[in-house]
Amino acid sequence: MAALQRLRDGVQLNDRLTRPAEVERLEHAPDLPERPVPIRYRKNVPDCWITLTLTEGRNRQVRRMTAAVGHPTLRLVRWAIGPVTLDGLQPGGWRALNKSEEDQLWKSALRRP
């Protein structure tokens, strides 16, 4: 699909070209809890699920990138930030970071581009 390749290559946004992203189309919707506020049904807008891994974090970047390739984001789930994932957490749940996760997050935050 051309839109996925554009995301992989980097997308021109108003301010500049994004870094290339890792993108994969999922065959099935992930097992997620229902949204408290349902997404408005869009009869003429096709939908699919993708995983998108970024190496930069700009303002509303995922939403801006998907809109730029003609597929606006209807639902966005941040699964991971660095080594920290939602794996094993219930909706609204939390857990303390372990020392390794904390160190890796600090290291990535202090790294200069």
Calculate the alpha carbon distances from 51 to 7, 71, 75, 93 in Å. 11, 14, 12, 22
Burial level of 66, CB count in 10 A (0-12/13-18/19+)? Answer: buried
Q: What are the tens digits of pLDDT across the range 82-112?
A: 889 999 998 889 999 999 999 998 988 777 6
User: Could you give the domains of the chain?
Assistant: 2-110 (3.30.70.1560)
Q: What are the tens digits of pLDDT across the range 34-65?
A: 777 766 666 666 678 999 999 888 899 999 99
